[in-house]
Amino acid sequence: DGTVPETAPRKPAPDLLPPNERRRAPDTVALAIEIAMAACRDADADPALLPSVFTSTHGDLAITDYMCATLASAPRSISPTRFHNSVHNAAAGYWTIGVGCHAPATAVSAYTASFAQGLLEAVVQLADGAPQVLLVAYDAQAHGALGRISPSEGLLGAALVLSAGDGAPHSLALEAGSAKPPDDPLSARYAANAMAPMLPLIAALAAGSGQCELVAGPGLRLRVALNG
């Protein structure tokens, strides 16, 4: 119903990371790893065998803002740890190292279409023969000057293990036109986060069936039909 649990932690602390790495990991990495592990556990899937797609609208804007500000004022004082975590595939890197996965990992960013494009990438991999693909979507709080032009509030993420099953298939259709505005409680509650465009699908999955439309790019929508 869109209500935040009273026991929700401010920041995930994934057991996959060693204590020192857990303390240093940025919010985006901690969130992505926590939800990825939860998805694999719920699907009874071996994370070491899954190809993965990590998608994020902004990556880690807190680190990007720090990097830009420091390069402008004192470039020689850049933190090596923050520099290491500034790349868009940081979460994918931590994940594959942590679970010992040698399968391909893809990092996607497509602004407001990031979730839809990440979902399309994962489905294409299924169509190309992968039996399962892990999809991880996340965004975090925006900071500094970048936060004024690319706003995002709080931590929001979801992960799915997608399978090429034998049952009635779900369907995706990329269409011309704008996605209709969402009207579910989750989208209303978390609209301020940059990954909110994924929430119509999450709401449809929670309902067990139905259709939704996802923002897929300028003048494009991705229609998803779920067969319960």
Pairing mode, strands 210-217 and 105-108: unpaired
Question: Which domain range does residue 163 map to?
Answer: 19-167
Report if residue 203 sits inside a domain: no
Report if residue 172 sits inside a domain: no
- Residue 68 clears pLDDT 60, i.e. is over it: yes
Residues 6+ apart with CB under 8 A from 94: 17, 21, 25, 29, 32, 33
Q: What angle, rounded to 10 degrees, do the helices at 27-43 and 90-99 form?
A: 50
**φ/ψ (deg, to 5) at 58:** -115, -10
Report if residue 226 sits inside a domain: no
pLDDT, the chain, mean: 91
Report if residue 62 sits inside a domain: yes
Number of residues that this document lists for the chain? 228
How does pLDDT run across 14-55, given as a tens digit for each residue?
Answer: 888 877 777 788 999 999 999 999 999 999 999 999 999 999
Report if residue 61 sits inside a domain: yes
Domain with 25 in it: what CATH number?
3.40.47.10
- Residue 177 clears pLDDT 90, i.e. is over it: yes
pLDDT bin (cut points 50, 70, 90) of residue 9 is low
CB of 164 closer than 8 Å to CB of 131: yes
Give start and end residues of each alpha helix (H) in the chain: 19-24, 27-43, 61-73, 80-84, 90-99, 114-127, 144-149, 185-189, 199-207
Report if residue 14 sits inside a domain: no
Report if residue 79 sits inside a domain: yes
How does pLDDT run across 131-162, given as a tens digit for each residue?
Answer: 999 999 999 999 888 888 899 999 999 999 99
- Residue 180 clears pLDDT 70, i.e. is over it: yes
Residue 2: the pLDDT is 54
The CA angle 61-64-66, to the nearest 5 degrees, is: 110
Report if residue 141 sits inside a domain: yes
A 10 A CB-CB count for 185 gives 13
| Termini Cα distance of the chain | 20
Q: How many domains does the chain have?
A: 1
Residue 8: the pLDDT is 60
With a pLDDT cut of 70, the percent of the chain lying above it is: 93
